[in-house]
């Protein structure tokens, strides 16, 4: 994170506490894909297969953000719920 900037956020599925598939949102944009030992796995040589991995990653990320929104709504935290609902929409929009 840079001074005064947004924190990095991972949205997606974890495996034993480590990113498995999803999206890392940084101040510079998104890094989407499958993850291994804290790093996004190298692109696949087949363009269609790589495209499907990226779509799956954004789908997992959008679902994770939507789940966070619902969880905060149940706890009565409307601001956090709205924030994560907006994140879910932004992540879904990346698949269009």
Q: Tokens representing 17?
A: 């506490």
Tens digit of each residue's pLDDT (9 = 90 or more) over 7-53: 899 999 999 999 999 999 998 889 999 999 888 898 888 999 999 99
CA 81 to chain centre: 16
Domain ranges of the chain: 9-93
How much is the mean pLDDT over the chain? 91
Burial-class residue 75 by CB neighbours within 10 Å (0-12, 13-18, 19+). Answer: exposed
Predicted TM-score (pTM) of the model is: 0.88
66, pLDDT greater than 50: yes
């Amino acid at each position: 994170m840079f001074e005064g900037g947004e924190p990095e956020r991972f949205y997606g599925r974890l495996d034993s506490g480590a990113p498995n598939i999803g999206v890392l949102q940084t101040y510079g944009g998104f890094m989407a894909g499958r993850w291994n030992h804290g790093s996004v796995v190298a692109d696949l040589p087949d363009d269609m297969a790589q495209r499907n991995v990226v779509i799956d990653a954004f789908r997992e990320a959008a679902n994770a953000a939507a789940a966070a929104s619902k969880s905060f709504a149940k706890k009565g935290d409307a601001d956090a719920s709205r924030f994560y609902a907006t994140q879910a929409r932004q992540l879904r929009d990346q698949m269009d």
